[in-house]
Structure 1
């Protein structure tokens, strides 16, 4: 989903006239329509000279929303899907792979939470380089704070054992960097646009047989969502839930791993807890807590939540 403007190319009925009509009622995205009184919106549309076309636009938006709902699946279908499609991707970090029994679950949304300077971005860069090195397919890195560092990825590649010739390392580096596509976004609507475009691209890849994206990283999701959660209205929360749902849908339908990072805030008694609150807490399939020894490259990671593993498992590694 995303802004109405991002849908115009695929759905001509959602043209500038329809967008202007919606904007006059405070509607700028599909998510806005989810929390709007549709009966009132249709009533306003009927007062316009282009009422039929406006109502067709509303119907089209509702059709898009309906298309997001997953069909009912029985247990056997879910088991077959998990066995055939939902594999794991090695992160390139032995400590993390051991903790997660092989790596990141394909089809799952994994959240990495931790305080500032815990190493969340470094883990994302390490995972991006690891997946791009080991698998045919790409990595999409959504950078929300100018944190993407190609030099850091080059450093990870250069850590490959010295038995590999320098020319070979350079070829690997060029291949890895060409496999990673970075998008800089600074608000939730821009992120939703990128994800919607990625979804469209992934559908095209299936049809053409092109190399598939294997990993999507959003660093950080909380910096985009936190600004819209202020006030007592439900608009921000609806956008947050919609964004989480879209990321999970993308992971499941296109067999890729999705990783998002989240910062921590002070909770009851001053104890740190993941940001974004209880509504977001249930969205990720996997939640990993990251910390780092002060002034050290040694990290600690523990499982807060996992679909297949007990919480509390932990690992210690260097990044």
Structure 2
């Protein structure tokens, strides 16, 4: 979402006086409104000499937030969208691709869940490498815990190349790395700002001949959301806003979005995906990844899928 300053040219009511009022309440972005009680804010505005203009500004910001919610779609709209020519992107993990009917689907948000050291980051890096190489596409990798490894990508490239193409390894690696953009983000506000800037860029992408963005990876989404959930309803609202914006990007720009999530303790000592039921409803596909230490064999199972039964399992190996 935008900073309030960036909205001034499009919405004149959001002027310098409105900025000063908001700044006095530590509100600088649209997201900050989600962290404030609107009724209390209106009460403060009513005490000002320019209360009418301030309340109009508050109403304008609320309408901007409301516009971010998806419109109603009837059955014809849903069928038309389902029949659009959206492609399936191979992850480079054969068993995972077979399980998903070819790989990651454009227009969908896929969530990869697993305990620590289960291989979630490795799957993300291999998918980024494979899609940048085979599709000659652009990939955005959002790194929230210093997990991105260019050396690991070089290892995957080495395995992808035929022996006869080894001499072209350096050139191929250079091309792939130029197509994979890594952004370090360490809080939810940084993520929302990055997604907003990415949305603006994608709106102009159709008009250029740039390498098309096909995959957006966030490793890991739970590292950004878990710290804010203790804030009650405000933290929950930020989580929902992030999830909606990810799905909006996927749907409107035919992206495949891949996020990772960790496990937490559940009832009876069992483990379950972090972030709760509300987040589970955000993702289109939710997969559980497990890996035995000392082995290069990985197990993947479907927890949630729009057209496949839960519980289906596959195995695959990965470069050690």
Once the two structures are TM-superposed, the CA of residue 69 in structure 1 deviates from its matched residue by 2.8
Paired with 1:8 and 1:262, the residues of 2 have a C-alpha distance of 37
Deviates most, 180-189 or 75-84: 75-84
Aligned position for 2:274: 275
Deviates most, 74-83 or 21-30: 21-30
Aligned position for 1:101: 101
State whether residues 34 and 234 of structure 2, in contact with CA within 8 Å, keep that contact through their aligned partners in structure 1: no
Paired with 2:315 and 2:179, the residues of 1 have a C-alpha distance of 29
- TM-score normalized by the length of structure 1: 0.90
Aligned position for 2:212: 212
Aligned position for 1:288: 287
Aligned position for 1:112: 112
1:196-251 Cα deviation digits (max 9, x unpaired): 100010011123353321111010000111111125x3111111111111111111
Q: Secondary structure at the match of 1:164?
A: helix
**How many residues are matched?**
318
Deviates most, 193-202 or 90-99: 90-99
1:114-168 Cα deviation digits (max 9, x unpaired): 0000000011101111111122431111100010000000100000244332232
Paired with 1:69 and 1:83, the residues of 2 have a C-alpha distance of 23
State whether residues 85 and 255 of structure 1, in contact with CA within 8 Å, keep that contact through their aligned partners in structure 2: no
State whether residues 291 and 300 of structure 1, in contact with CA within 8 Å, keep that contact through their aligned partners in structure 2: yes
Aligned position for 1:85: 85
- Which runs of 5 or more residues in structure 1 are unaligned? none
Aligned position for 1:176: 176
State whether residues 287 and 303 of structure 2, in contact with CA within 8 Å, keep that contact through their aligned partners in structure 1: yes
Counterpart check, 1:25 vs 2:14: no
Counterpart check, 1:126 vs 2:126: yes
Deviates most, 79-88 or 92-101: 79-88
Once the two structures are TM-superposed, the CA of residue 51 in structure 1 deviates from its matched residue by 4.5
Aligned position for 1:150: 150
Aligned position for 1:244: 243
State whether residues 4 and 29 of structure 1, in contact with CA within 8 Å, keep that contact through their aligned partners in structure 2: yes
Aligned position for 2:306: 307
- TM-score normalized by the length of structure 2: 0.90
Q: CA RMSD in A?
A: 2.4
Distance 1:85 1:10, change over 3 A: farther
Paired with 1:269 and 1:218, the residues of 2 have a C-alpha distance of 30
State whether residues 88 and 104 of structure 2, in contact with CA within 8 Å, keep that contact through their aligned partners in structure 1: yes
Q: Secondary structure at the match of 2:206?
A: helix
Paired with 2:14 and 2:218, the residues of 1 have a C-alpha distance of 28
Deviates most, 113-122 or 85-94: 85-94
State whether residues 34 and 238 of structure 2, in contact with CA within 8 Å, keep that contact through their aligned partners in structure 1: no
Paired with 2:16 and 2:226, the residues of 1 have a C-alpha distance of 30
Once the two structures are TM-superposed, the CA of residue 54 in structure 1 deviates from its matched residue by 3.6
Q: Secondary structure at the match of 1:117?
A: coil
State whether residues 108 and 252 of structure 1, in contact with CA within 8 Å, keep that contact through their aligned partners in structure 2: yes
